[in-house]
Structure 1
């Protein structure tokens, strides 16, 4: 099972949601994201939020179109996206995708990127991806990983999410590395490319953000 969560980020930054609809996918709306799903004839199974960004008419449509509505007061300790993600993690899906999580307000964007770390800190082996019209973001903890060429997202960047990532090694890349110490704030690993159909990356300590991008 895959859980797709759509937040209320700018629609011009959305990936084509039709490419992510299969029998294994379940959709969740966050705040106005529920309305966006309904407008695209995608049926959300749940909706979360304080819904402070929707009109009364839109709220009525959400109430009619979503059977399980979880409404919260604006004064709360979690963002609407985190509330939806907490629920999704409890379902133990194979994958969680976050849409509508980029563009617009930078505070929301950085908060959403930090949410990628949540299953790592909770020792849950559930991958989470942030996907928009130009990027795919995900987190990895120490280990060795294969990565395949993607013609739609040819550029690959590696960014430390901790004070440092240790012994980062990149093989099969245009700019290879061997056992490099990458401190937080380094731009050394921005905009790399695979030389062949597949490469590998590995590291021994830290948490690494992987970003696949297109122009």
Structure 2
């Protein structure tokens, strides 16, 4: 099941998200609290709205009064996005796309990237997408299919990544090691139709970007 999560983040281009969502064709839509405000702008009907409801507007609440609501207290240990992720996993998602997960609040952006590990831990493909970036965390050998010419950065998260081999890029790596203080995987370029990233230990963040 393919799931889209709308978070209460930054959405710069309505046209981009309309086109992207039509292309993705998700089976299930989750709104994390104020993420419902943007879903309403797109005239989408979520399957569920989850969170403490401190950022959803009164107009949006009224608009979605027939939609299932899962409400939590404001004082809690989880962010609304984390609650939405937990729900997606519980529902049996095999692919999850998080929208609105990046923005001017760097703390929220970093936390949302870290939350992708929830998916790698249970072998669910997941990514954060906005107008300029597509972000994934990898915990194992993975085949990718970015278009030729795509700028891709491959960066370690936490401990050193060892036994790193990447193919399908302008700058390949063979049995390398990468640490957070030596991020030499920045701004590589795809030069084959298929790419592979393999490693023995660690966790990688893969970011496909465009200006």
- TM-score, normalised via structure 1 length: 0.89
How far did 1:125 drift?
Answer: 1.6
Q: Does 1:32 find its partner at 2:34? A: yes
Q: 2 CA distance for matches of 1:61 and 1:67?
A: 9
Distance 1:178 1:42, change over 3 A: same
* Residue among 36, 53, 56 paired with 1:54: 56
**1:86-141 CA-partner distances (Å, limit 9, x unpaired):** 010011122011000001211111110011011333xx121111011111111111
**1:146-200 CA-partner distances (Å, limit 9, x unpaired):** 322326x811111111311001112231111111110123220001012222232
Q: Output aligned runs, 1:1-215, within 5 Å.
A: 1-12=1-12, 15-21=16-22, 24-62=26-64, 64=65, 66-121=66-121, 124-143=122-141, 145-150=142-147, 154-215=150-211
1:159, 1:186 within 8 Å by CA — same for their partners in 2? Answer: no
Q: CA RMSD in A?
A: 1.9
Q: 2 CA distance for matches of 1:46 and 1:26?
A: 9
Q: 1 CA distance for matches of 2:67 and 2:168?
A: 48
How far did 1:5 drift?
Answer: 0.3
2:96, 2:127 within 8 Å by CA — same for their partners in 1? Answer: yes
How far did 1:209 drift?
Answer: 1.0
Partner of 2:189, secondary structure, is coil
Name the stretch that deviates more: 187-196 or 13-22: 13-22
